[in-house]
A and B are shown apart, each in its own frame.
Chain A
Amino acid sequence: MSQQDEKNIKVLLAQFPLETHSRGMFTVAHMLRDAGMEIVLLGNATPQQIISAAADEDVDVVGISNYCGGHLLLGGDIINEAKQKGIKERTAFLMGGVLPPADMPRLKELGFDAIFEPGATQEEISSCIRELTKAKG
């Protein structure tokens, strides 16, 4: 197991189709690459496109950066799509960005494994990903 969790963790980073802000996504991409992970930077895409890319690339983690709202509706779409494609159980789903505090537990109820607020550190995000991928095998 200890050998296993040092394997390259592959993370897909994406945003919803019309999101204009990208600083958060770029920042997290730098953080995770510096932490030794492999990054697939998908950018703007629909929930269907995101899940289809996640399946094709066989990623361990899907990270959504969100600034402009719509996260509950579109977050729900992502999880549903992942279940349909059969990748929900083996993939960790994360969301980060400007999210109202009250919506954070709601996103977890939808099926997201972790939610990050602005100001989350490299250490917080990367250790969370290591634990989640270990747990998901």
Chain B
Amino acid sequence: MDEGKTTKQILEEELRGRKRIPFYNPEVLQKMRGEFEQWKNTTVREADRENWYVTPHTTLGSEIPRALLFTPLDNADLDYAEDIGFSGQEPFTRGVHPNMYRGRAFTMRQLSSAGSPEYVNGRIKFLLEHGATGVNLALDLATVQMFDSDEPEARGQVGTVGVPIDCVEDMEIIFKDVPIDKLSVSIVTHYPRNTAILFPMYLIMAERRGIPWDKLPGSVQNDFIMENVVRNACEYIPPKDCFKVQCDNIEFIRKEVPLWNYVTLNGYNLREMGTSGVTEMSIALANAIGILKELTGRGYDADWVAARLAFFWSPANDFFEEVARLRAIRRLWYRIMKYRFGAQNPRSMWMRCHVQTSGVSLRREEPYNNVIRSAYHALAAVLGGAQSMHVDGFDEAYRVPSEESSLLALRTQQIIEAETQVTQVVDPLGGSFYVEALTNEIERRILDEVDEIERMGGITEAVDTGWLHRKVTDFIRHEMRMVDNDDIKIAGYNYFPAPEHELPELKLQETSVEIEDQMKAKLQRIRQQRDNEKASSCLNALTQAAKRGDNVTYYCLDAARAGATEGEMRRAFTEAYGSWRPSIFV
């Protein structure tokens, strides 16, 4: 790999050097060109001819112009083996496994709801009893933001949108009687710092149950874009330090918990905050490239590093764009691993992903319309070849999904999987003139944005300078105007709005002050029972390790063992790294 070149330059040089075998007979194409022009000029209405390309406007869309009809002429230099190939083989456009869903259905991984650790343990079991095949643990705001339940900032937020976790004991309650050695568990940690804090608590819980770490399947998020860009918070650490914690977690998990997916590069939340489907992917790729540069710089082999890297995407409204995006990113990831990082192991060239249907695309008006929207999002993800999925509740704009809407979302997945039969044939839209052309266009656009980021110095620069923050706020403003002007049409809102805005009769969850009190009492007890000197010396060691530049995750493990709480570890990090403010552009 030449450090002086961008990823795009490397790929262009490599691909230019490869001999291409044309799929279409040149004579056929030549004849088709004439016939196409004739057809267009004689048979197509003038109005359609003049508006041959239409730019679709939709929530979270990429505004890629679409022709009225796609033909082989839109992909005239197609090389079947180079561009499409067979499933489970390079370039993996058609899927990472040869048999795809015939081998294993996508993991049905519904989020585990909000409430006390005891309540969430019950909800996890409820979903598993009804056929869920993985766990998706959502955390409450205090836990996500790394505050203990008894810190003043946590007031009113304990157990409201997820489960509170302050210490190892909470992990033990949440996963009581859940077979964590057989079932893939996704802990939605979001940030590098809370991954470093919470994942060791999970490991200690497993250890106490006698389950060896090398038997644990699952994933954490661990994405510094989430911590420095997507979230809003009252405190941040600088992007370069947060990126470093992200990489420390990867190094720790890759070594100590070999089956675990140590990073789930989270395009989803960034897109939902406000970016196109192209930017969602370019940012995740730029981060992945940064990770590989950092870890190979620490002396690890690119294949060893990348084998457990996973992505998380948001399938939204533009149906064919969503299918094409998954195909495009699979091929592009393969090309980056192969040509930029010299990967040999197919596993490290696999773009494996979890998806969650788009939440921002759902509406408060006539919430049952959301059932239809989410089903289309989910179908696009399956036609695109996703590995794992959460379908949103139709009550998303009202509350954390109820048991009723969670079950309906799970049933949506089961209907797609077992009733529609779309899972029997691998990559069923592969070969479509339209989908292949769109796949090419999206891959080009993602790579162009990755190039732009690399030219400004890479992903941490894109964050530190505020480039990404500005891109997001510009997108939000643009989209807001498009909705206001009715350019983006939303059924029941600005497209045939209902004359009366009736609120549905939904049973709403009550926020419970009791959970907060219980958690506070538990924290008080733990602080009394633990060896406080030991806990504070571990926290101090964490701060010192962070300052020295050592791998911090090992020190978090020691601190968690000594009974240190989440908020205490957050403060140990902040002490070492200092604070940072994102630039805000409104």
Contact = CB atoms under 8 A, between A and B. Distances in A.
A23 B161 CA distance: 17
Contacts of A74: 155-156
A68 B466 CA distance: 26
B234 A68 contact: no
A78 B208 CA distance: 44
B138 to A, nearest CB: 11
Interface stretch (B44-52, B298-306, B334-342, B472-480): B472-480
B579 to A, nearest CB: 13
B136 to A, nearest CB: 17
Contact of B141 (A20, A27, A71, A103): A20
A45 B586 contact: no
Given A20-B141, A119-B364, A68 B584 contact: no
B363 A119 contact: yes
A68 B232 contact: no
A113 B513 CA distance: 26
Interface stretch (B11-19, B145-153, B175-183): B145-153
Contacts of A31: 480
Contacts of A69: 156-157, 160-161, 511
A77 B161 CA distance: 20
A118 B397 CA distance: 7
A134 interface: no
Interface string A28-61: 0111010000010101111000000000000000
A20 B153 contact: no
Interface in A76-103: 77, 98, 100-103
Given A30-B480, A119-B365, A16 B157 contact: yes
Contacts of B473: 26, 30
B511 A46 contact: no
Given A69-B511, A118-B363, A122-B484, A30 B157 contact: no
B205 interface: no
B399 interface: yes
A68 B584 CA distance: 22
B508 interface: yes
A18 B147 contact: yes
A16 B472 CA distance: 21
Interface string B181-197: 00000000000000000
Contacts of B230: 20
A118 B398 CA distance: 9
B408 interface: no
Interface string A108-137: 000000000111011000000000000000
Given A98-B397, A118-B364, A119-B365, A46 B484 contact: no
A119 to B, nearest CB: 5
Which residue, of A69, A77, A102, A122, has the highest number of chain B Cβ atoms within 10 A? A69
A19 B232 contact: yes
Interface in B571-586: 584, 586
B54 interface: no
A73 interface: yes
B474 to A, nearest CB: 10
B421 to A, nearest CB: 36
B320 interface: no
Interface in B216-233: 230-233
A33 B586 CA distance: 9
B488 interface: no
A31 B273 CA distance: 17
A17 B160 CA distance: 14
B148 to A, nearest CB: 12
Contact of A101 (B152, B272, B503, B511): B503
A120 to B, nearest CB: 10
Interface string B137-176: 0000110110100001111110011000000000000000
A41 B493 contact: no
Contacts of A16: 156-157
B384 interface: no
B364 to A, nearest CB: 5
Given A41-B586, A118-B364, A46 B153 contact: yes
Contact of B234 (A23, A25, A41, A45): A45
Contacts of A73: 155-156, 511, 513
A99 to B, nearest CB: 8
Given A45-B234, A68-B161, A98-B399, A18 B586 contact: no
A71 B156 CA distance: 8
A71 B157 CA distance: 9
B485 to A, nearest CB: 11
Nearest to A121: B484
Interface in B478-531: 480, 484, 493, 503, 506, 508-509, 511, 513
A19 B142 CA distance: 9
A74 B508 CA distance: 19
Which residue, of B142, B473, B586, has the highest number of chain A Cβ atoms within 10 A? B586
Given A21-B232, A26-B472, 5 more contacts: A18-B142, A25-B232, A27-B480, A43-B234, A73-B513
Interface of A: 15-23, 25-27, 29-31, 33, 39, 41, 43-46, 68-74, 77, 98, 100-103, 117-119, 121-122
8 contacts: A20-B230, A25-B232, A30-B480, A46-B153, A70-B156, A70-B511, A98-B399, A117-B364
